[in-house]
């Protein structure tokens, strides 16, 4: 299967890099607290949270510092991202963040350690559809009954016109890569149902994003 390293996360032109290899994403500063507020009501009181497509690593560190009773396992297919995640972990001193794993969402196999929750932020619209399929299939295998798969990002929803900002974003993504673009929420939910998840809880987020929470049946 095609490796996702070249087609998943890549730093945008607005990203900056510190001398210690930490990458900084402006979007993280804008959305991390809103996402954290959602996670507080969804994540368990203990256990391992596997984050897929962790990018710079800023989200994992922010959440781990705010939720010290959980252990966070960041991952990414990009070597540049893995370096940034490790640098963020070291600089933060967070003791509840594990070293990052190289996980390609489209890979046939993932590390099979059980997780109490899986989190994926802003990935499925900047990756081939096969990455969404892989994410949901593997989540169905790793999570136990009641455990959440949490997605965050912009989506298309049946019967609702795209907001102008999201429509422009979708067009720009498809110009960059024909395999990218905002996903239909109903299609994602259908995949999740096939993988053993209930209908999602959909939470409106700032800037026309959604938090979509699937729980394993």
Nearest to 150 by CA among 188, 113, 114, 186: 188
Average pLDDT over residues 96-120: 94
**Surface-to-core class of residue 108, CB atoms within 10 Å of its CB (0-12 exposed, 13-18 middle, 19+ buried):** exposed
Angle, helix 185-194 to helix 129-142, in steps of 10 degrees: 40
pLDDT at 2 over 90: no
Residues composing the chain: 217
Per-residue burial over 165-184, b if 16 or more Cβ lie within 10 Å, else e, is ebeebbeebeeeeeebbbbe
Q: pTM of the predicted model, to two decimals?
A: 0.92
Domain assignments of the chain as residue spans, ordered by start: 16-215
CA distance 119 to 20: 26
- pLDDT at res. 14: 54
pLDDT at 5: 39
- 24 or 170, which is more confident: 170
Find out whether 64 and 91 touch, Cβ atoms under 8 Å.
Answer: no
Looking at residue 17, its pLDDT comes to 60
Residue 21: which pLDDT band, with cuts at 50, 70 and 90? confident
With H, G, I as helix, E, B as strand and everything else as coil, classify residue 75: strand
Question: Could you give the CA distance from residue 192 to residue 180 in angstroms, rounded to a whole number?
Answer: 19
For CA atoms 207, 43, 11, 65, give the dihedral sign.
positive
User: How much of the chain exceeds pLDDT 70, in percent?
Assistant: 91
- For 16-215, which CATH class? alpha beta
Residues 174 and 171: their CA atoms lie apart, in Å, by 5
Q: What is the mean pLDDT of the chain?
A: 92
More confident residue, 125 or 19: 125
Q: Is the pLDDT of residue 158 over 90?
A: yes
Model confidence at 118: pLDDT above 50: yes
Q: Parallel, antiparallel, or unpaired: how do β-strands 209-215 and 201-205 relate?
A: antiparallel
Instruction: Render pLDDT for 169-191 as a digit per residue (tens, 0 to 9).
Output: 999 999 999 999 999 999 999 99
Percent of the chain with pLDDT over 90: 86
pLDDT, position 204: 98
Which pLDDT score, from 0 to 100, does residue 7 have? 43
Q: What stretches of the chain show up as alpha helix (H) in DSSP?
A: 26-40, 58-66, 79-92, 129-142, 164-176, 185-194
Neighbours of 146 (CB within 10 A): 11
Kindly report, residue by residue over 37-76, the tens digit of the pLDDT: 999 999 999 999 999 999 999 999 999 999 999 999 999 9
Return phi, psi of residue 106, to 5°.
-90, -5
Confidence of residue 200 (pLDDT cuts 50, 70, 90): very high
């Amino acid at each position: 299967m095609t490796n996702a390293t070249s087609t998943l996360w890549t730093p945008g032109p607005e990203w900056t890099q510190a001398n210690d290899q930490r990458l900084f994403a402006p979007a993280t500063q804008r959305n991390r607290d809103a996402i954290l507020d959602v996670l507080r009501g969804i994540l368990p009181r203990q256990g391992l949270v596997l984050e897929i497509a962790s990018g710079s690593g800023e989200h994992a560190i922010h959440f781990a510092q705010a939720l010290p009773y959980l252990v966070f396992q960041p991952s990414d297919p990009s070597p540049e991202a893995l370096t940034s995640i490790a640098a963020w972990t070291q600089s933060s001193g967070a003791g509840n963040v594990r070293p990052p794993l190289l996980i390609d969402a489209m890979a046939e196999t993932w590390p099979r350690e059980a997780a109490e929750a899986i989190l994926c932020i802003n990935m499925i619209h900047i990756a081939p559809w096969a990455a969404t399929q892989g994410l949901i299939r593997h989540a169905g295998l790793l999570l136990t009954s009641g455990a959440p798969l949490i997605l965050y990002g912009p989506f298309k929803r049946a019967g609702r016109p795209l907001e102008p900002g999201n429509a422009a974003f979708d067009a720009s993504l498809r110009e960059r890569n024909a395999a990218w673009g905002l996903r239909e929420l109903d299609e994602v939910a259908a995949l999740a149902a096939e993988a053993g998840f209930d209908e999602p809880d959909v939470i409106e987020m700032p800037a026309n994003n959604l938090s979509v929470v699937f729980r394993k049946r």
